[in-house]
Amino acid sequence: MIRLEPRALPSAAWTWVAPFLALAMTVLLGVMLFAALGKDPVAALRVFFWEPIKSPYALGELVVKATPLLIMALGLALCFRAQVWNIGAEGQYVMGAIAASGVALQLAGVAGAWVWVMVAGVLGGMLWAAVVAWLRDRFHANEILVSLMLVYVAVQVLGYLVFGPWKDPAGYNFPQTQTFDAATRIPRLIAGSRMHWGMVLALVGVLALWVFLFRTRAGWAQQVGGLAPMAARYAGFSSRQALWVALLVSGGAAGLAGGLEVAGPVGQLTPYVPVGYGFAAIIVAFVGRLHPVGMVFSALLMSMFYIGGELAQSRLGLPKSLTGVFQGLLLFCLLTGDVLIHQRVRWVPAARGAV
């Protein structure tokens, strides 16, 4: 018989082994899925894990996809460490994209305007997250439900703008804005690649979050408020401040990611901007153990799934939803592996005479 027994202390080794075990289980389940769909598992795995890294251009595309995921995951990690459950980063991402687009359309031809476009994206995401913080602070509303419902409100606002007042009159009736002026676009880092300065901002964010969480009193207070609210109150830490800081920072990060997306690879605002990055960033945060460095690798892995899913659709005829399947499998396998952090498996001999 197999029995799970509680550990006296959480296993530090399993904390870091579990993500690799989850990845291995995801690959194994993926092989079984490809075989069930009648596809060559080796060819499918090559599309998912080799094609995204086989050339310098492919690596650049991997980084472009990983950048918004990493930026949003950094903000969400701060939230989750404080036990503030912001599930609506997708809505803050959309509102950041809308705010950035509005400024980009107004500042066409202004030198260095892309900086203000990014500032607008951050403020747009922070404003949308502030609604969640205010409702939680003032009326004790559940931030999970509020943030999630606001995602759909943001998508409706986006649809109204691109189908209405912001539609490009010369766009052949497509629901999209004008293409942004070069001055409002994010500068690229390397000629011939779509990598842009957003990657640098993401890496700066990794360093900033690491310093804040592990080298400052404010970061410690932010985490204590989530781990032990009573102890935090006794120590004089403000739970209201922790709530507002967590939501505003995560909202600003999601808004920045939205601004980077529309002023970077996309170059205009379209109804297809919300592609699920806000929800995927939740998986990135947890696979990376809510640690800034760990989330760099999990963001690259999730980016690989996005690119692999697109290639599998075009080359192997597999459905587009396969990307979401892989994301769900990874999270499910991670949660399964996390059981071993707090539990140990014991083999118990069956009692004699047991039927």
What would the pLDDT profile of 166-203 be if each residue is shown by its tens digit? 999 998 999 999 999 999 999 999 888 899 999 999 99
Write out pLDDT tens, residues 65-124.
Answer: 999 999 999 999 999 999 999 999 999 999 999 999 999 999 998 999 999 999 999 999
- Kindly state the average pLDDT of the residues 16-30: 90
Give the separation between CA 25 and CA 32, rounded to whole angstroms: 11
pLDDT for 97: 98
Domain assignment present for residue 233? The answer is: yes
Whether the per-residue pLDDT at 27 is higher than 70: the answer is yes
pLDDT at position 2 is 78
Residue 237 has pLDDT above 90, yes or no: no
User: pTM above 0.95?
Assistant: no
Name which of 272, 315, 347, 330 is nearest 33 in CA terms: 330
Question: What secondary structure letter does DSSP report for 127?
Answer: H
Amino acid identity for residue 216 in this structure: T
Domain assignment present for 345: no
Taking residues 51-58, report their average pLDDT. Answer: 91
* Within a domain: 289: yes
What is the reported pLDDT for 314? 86
2 forms beta bridges with 347
Can you give the residue range of the structural domain that contains 105?
64-185+199-295
pLDDT at site 15: 85
**115 domain-assigned:** yes
142 in a domain, yes or no?
yes
The answer as to whether 179 is a domain residue is yes
Which residue, among 60, 126, 131, has the nearest Cα to 93 in the 3D structure?
126
| Domains held by the chain: number | 1
Within a domain: 162: yes
- Position 146 in a domain: yes
